[in-house]
């Protein structure tokens, strides 16, 4: 039922240190990869069926094959460790517990695309994770896994750990590149795609932490091993993150295609005496689902078929004590704060959305406001420069679709019918603010 691979060494003593990582077979995959031709490493990752774990599910090996190897410019690998999508909490614990899994993946992936420098762009608000990454890269340098003539192969690679400074939009890959070049993090026009003209205008691969961290296991155990797990089009194991109103929230590494019913069961059920009301399959930018969707396979196709997206597999669970309007308002405030301001529908639209939702939450809205909200969402989605704006509208339209009555109840009662205390973790402990 569970298939720990990425998380398999997280209970080892000092798992973050090189010596511990090597005790469990760490860096064996690097030795194997360095004996292969770079193109064969790309093929192995292609054959495994690994799809990007940062949200969009683009096939990783295919992305690597877009790097024009006849281009004389240097090539770069950039790891997206910005993890800021609300609800998403898998890359941070991975890098905290076993930064070498990522570092080994970085070296193998860089070798595959013949990158000379790799960057790990990690959000700035995670001090201890940054310490562990810095130390892991240093240990790998001291061991000769990073540097010149790696393990006598003639391959040279430098790896830089780079801390961001607080901006959700920098997780969008082209905004990330601008940020990494020392600019405001605003998305770039595509084409050209980063594979052709990315960092400093050079061919660049950008991948999520979990995508890159999955590479050593694929090289070590083979593409067939990886694709023996999962479903037809969504292969391998992955980290599902359960948070909110479940008994044991946390990281659950399972084959692609497990269902929320199974995961909640593993997590000890929805918290005692309550029932599931709504959930996100992959962060706040993926349309909300309800108890009706408990048996949907959590793979790219399954979640897509019910009108949402697998996203980052950030399963935020809310029980019947939660006001959906309050939840959606708060997410909308987040998007408003994080809109980079580059394009009008998103910059202005997110302000309007917040204004209307505030009215609704305080019981001062009308049914017409709901129509305006949906209309606004339609005008923002697909008409903005990047996917942040599409994400901003997802919770709004999906919540109106599933919980229109609850919005209406707010005007009927002239205010929010929910007690915010009831949904807290300390509700039963009798604590109050």
Partner 1 sequence: MSTVNDHATSHPVPYSTGDSKITETTIAEMRELAARYPVGRSALLPMLHLVQSVEGRVTPEGIEACADVLGLTGAEVSAVATFYTMYKRRPVGEYHVGVCTNTLCAVMGGDLIFERLKRHLDVGNDETTEDGKITLEHIECNAACDYAPVMTVNWEFFDDMTPESATQLVDDLREGTEVKSPRGATICSWREAERVLAGFPDGRADEGPTGGKASLAGLRLARERNWTAPNGNGGAPAPLDPVPGPRPEDQPGRESQAVHTDDSRKED
Judged by phi (left if over 0) then psi (alpha if -120 to 50, else beta), residue 307 lies in left
Q: In this chain, which stretch among 7-15, 21-29, 151-159, 206-214 interacts with ligand FMN, using CB under 6 A?
A: 206-214
Contacts of 204 (CB under 8 A, 6+ apart): 75, 76, 77, 78, 177, 194, 195, 198
Q: In this chain, which stretch among 86-94, 189-197, 292-300, 408-416 interacts with partner 1, using CB under 8 A?
A: 86-94
Stretch 109-138: interaction string toward partner 1, x if CB under 8 A: --------x-----xxxxxx-xxx-xx--x
Nearer to ligand SF4, 61 or 164 (CB): 164
Per-position DSSP letters for 272-333, written without gaps between them: TT--EEEEESSSTTS--EEGGGTTSB-SHHHHHHTT---TT-EEEEEETTS-HHHHHHHHHH
Nearer to partner 1, 196 or 304 (CB): 196
Cα–Cα dist 167/391, whole Å: 15
Nearer to ligand FMN, 17 or 211 (CB): 211
Closest CA to 257 of 304, 315, 292, 302: 302
Structure tokens at 249: 């929230």
Among 55, 93, 257, 302, binds ligand FMN (CB under 6 A): 55
- Please count the CA atoms within 13 angstroms of the CA of 296 that sit on its side-chain side: 24
Cα–Cα dist 417/411, whole Å: 10
**Under rule CB under 8 A, residue 36 binds partner 1:** no
**Under rule CB under 6 A, residue 7 binds ligand FMN:** no
Query: Containing H/E element for 205?
Result: strand 204-208
Secondary structure letter of residue 151 according to DSSP: G
Count of residues touching ligand SF4 (by CB under 6 A): 14
Distances, alpha carbon 279 to alpha carbons 34, 224, 298, 304, in Å:
43, 33, 13, 15
Nearer to ligand SF4, 254 or 346 (CB): 346
Residue with tokens 């995508």: 211
Residues in the chain: 433
**Contact of residue 207 among ligand SF4, ligand FMN, partner 1, none (CB under 5-8 Å per partner type):** ligand FMN
Closest CA to 216 of 13, 27, 420: 27
**Under rule CB under 6 A, residue 53 binds ligand FMN:** yes
CB 154 within 8 A of CB 38: no
State which of positions 303-342 bind ligand SF4 (CB under 6 A).
Answer: 339-342
Nearer to ligand FMN, 121 or 418 (CB): 121
**Under rule CB under 8 A, residue 104 binds partner 1:** no
Stretch 384-403: interaction string toward ligand SF4, x if CB under 6 A: xxx-xx--------------
State which of positions 307-326 bind partner 1 (CB under 8 A).
Answer: 314, 316, 318, 322, 326
Q: Give me the sign of the Cα torsion angle 31, 34, 35, 39.
A: positive
**Contact of residue 402 among ligand FMN, partner 1, ligand SF4, none (CB under 5-8 Å per partner type):** none
State which of positions 80-99 bind ligand SF4 (CB under 6 A).
Answer: none
Among 26, 38, 49, 54, binds ligand FMN (CB under 6 A): 54
Stretch 353-392: interaction string toward partner 1, x if CB under 8 A: ----------------------------------------
**Under rule CB under 6 A, residue 139 binds ligand FMN:** no
Among 18, 150, 386, 392, binds ligand FMN (CB under 6 A): 386
Q: For residues 118-154, b (16+ Cβ closer than 10 Å) or e, as one string?
A: bbbbbbeebeebbebbebbbebbeeeebbeeebeeee
**Under rule CB under 6 A, residue 157 binds ligand SF4:** no
**Under rule CB under 6 A, residue 311 binds ligand FMN:** no
**Under rule CB under 6 A, residue 377 binds ligand SF4:** no
Nearer to ligand SF4, 101 or 332 (CB): 332
**Under rule CB under 6 A, residue 179 binds ligand SF4:** no
**Under rule CB under 8 A, residue 12 binds partner 1:** yes
**Under rule CB under 8 A, residue 196 binds partner 1:** no
Among 41, 48, 85, 349, binds ligand FMN (CB under 6 A): 85
Residue with tokens 């798992």: 15
Structure tokens at 15: 């798992």
């Amino acid at each position: 039922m569970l298939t720990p691979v990425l998380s398999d060494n997280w209970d080892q003593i000092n798992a973050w240190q090189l010596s511990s990582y090597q005790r469990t077979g760490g860096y064996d995959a690097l030795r194997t990869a360095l004996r292969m031709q770079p193109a064969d490493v790309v093929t192995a990752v292609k054959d495994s069926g690994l799809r990007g774990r940062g949200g969009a599910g683009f096939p990783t090996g295919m992305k690597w094959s877009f790097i024009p190897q006849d281009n004389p410019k240097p090539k770069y690998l950039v790891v997206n460790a910005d993890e800021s999508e609300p609800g998403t909490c898998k890359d941070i614990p991975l890098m905290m517990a076993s930064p070498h899994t990522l570092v080994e993946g970085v070296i193998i992936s860089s070798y595959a695309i013949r990158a000379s420098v790799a960057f790990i762009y990690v959000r700035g608000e995670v001090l201890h994770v940054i310490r562990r990454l810095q130390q892991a890269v240093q240990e790998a340098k001291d061991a000769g896994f990073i540097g010149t003539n790696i393990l006598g192969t003639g391959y040279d690679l430098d790896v830089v750990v780079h801390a961001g400074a607080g901006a959700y939009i920098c997780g969008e890959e082209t905004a990330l590149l601008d940020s990494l070049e020392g600019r405001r993090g605003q998305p770039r026009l595509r084409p050209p795609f980063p594979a052709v003209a990315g960092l400093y205008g050079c061919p660049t691969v950008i991948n999520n932490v979990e995508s890159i961290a999955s590479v050593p296991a694929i090289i070590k155990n083979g593409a067939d091993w990886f694709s023996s797990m999962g479903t037809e089009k969504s292969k391998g194991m992955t980290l599902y993150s359960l948070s909110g109103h479940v008994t044991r929230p946390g990281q659950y590494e399972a084959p692609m295609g497990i269902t929320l019913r199974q995961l909640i069961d593993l997590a000890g059920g929805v918290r005692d005496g309550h029932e599931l009301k709504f959930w996100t399959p992959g962060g706040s930018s993926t349309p909300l689902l309800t108890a009706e969707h408990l048996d949907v396979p959590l793979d790219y196709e399954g979640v897509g078929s019910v009108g949402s997206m697998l996203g980052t597999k950030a399963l935020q669970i809310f029980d019947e004590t939660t006001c959906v309007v309050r939840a959606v308002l708060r997410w909308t405030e987040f998007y408003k704060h994080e809109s980079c301001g580059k394009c009008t529908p998103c910059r202005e639209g997110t302000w309007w959305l917040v204004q209307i939702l505030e009215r609704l939450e305080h019981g001062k809205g009308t049914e017409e406001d709901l129509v305006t909200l949906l209309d606004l969402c339609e005008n923002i989605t697909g008409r903005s420069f990047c996917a942040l704006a599409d994400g901003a509208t997802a919770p709004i339209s999906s919540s109106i679709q599933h919980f229109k009555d609850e919005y209406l109840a707010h005007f009927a009662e002239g205010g929010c019918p929910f007690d915010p205390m009831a949904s807290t973790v300390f509700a039963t402990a009798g604590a109050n603010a």
